[in-house]
Amino acid sequence: MISTTSWILGNWSLRHGDMYSSKDSQGKVVASQDSADYVSGLLAKIGVTDPLKVTNYTVPRMIKAVDYLSKRDIDGDGLLEQKHNEDWMDTAVRAGKIVYSQACWVIALNDLSVLLSNLGQDAEAIRMRQLRDKAMDSVEQNMWSQKDGCYMNKQETLKGYSRETLTEDTSFYLAAMTADTEQNNLRMLQKEALANQEPPKPLDSRRAHRASSTLEAIKSRMWLRKWPLVT
């Protein structure tokens, strides 16, 4: 919800930067006409006629949601702990530290930081990026299994014991890895933005290797002879 809402409002702010500030729109990036039409259409479908009012109402609540979620990092290591039935795969009844949930957290923080930056709320934008970076560093330090060659869930069983598991939704973290590039997804969508900005930095070699290795690990577990499995 945080990521998607940030994307919609962020695209609108890129198009109408002068609406969000009493200052002139210097430094604001103007979105392509196609992108603006698409976002305007999304807002119109839900009856939104004043995006500025929606932004002023929504952004503080998204920040409040982040502050709540950050409290779910019980031990302060940058990773969110969860209980059973608290993510999309509720039938798995999984608790502990799940790679997919960290990926959602990273992408939400990144996209919200982009929106806040576009709105001129630089201090909050920096805070979101710091939380994002801490989460990614912690995944690399605590959730990478050298033995298995992939990122692993730190899962708690109903009896309270910990075990490492690999599920296919771990692949979502590989997409979240690009969240700390200099460019961000919102601005990459704007052709005008590319002319005056540096190209995105590639993944560092260690993360690139781990991403490839994780895909291979998932692939090797998904197939038994000629039959695909659900893991």
Dihedral sign for Cα 84, 79, 113, 140, please.
Answer: negative
Write down the pTM of the prediction.
0.78
pLDDT tens readout for residues 122-160: 999 999 999 999 999 999 999 999 999 999 999 987 777
Q: What is the token pair recorded at 204?
A: 């560092």
Position 166, amino acid:
L
Rounded distance between C-alpha atoms, residue 77 and residue 94, angstroms:
20
Domain map of the chain by residue range?
2-228
pLDDT tens readout for residues 89-132: 767 778 999 999 999 999 999 999 999 998 899 999 999 999 99
**For position 25, what pLDDT does the model report?**
39
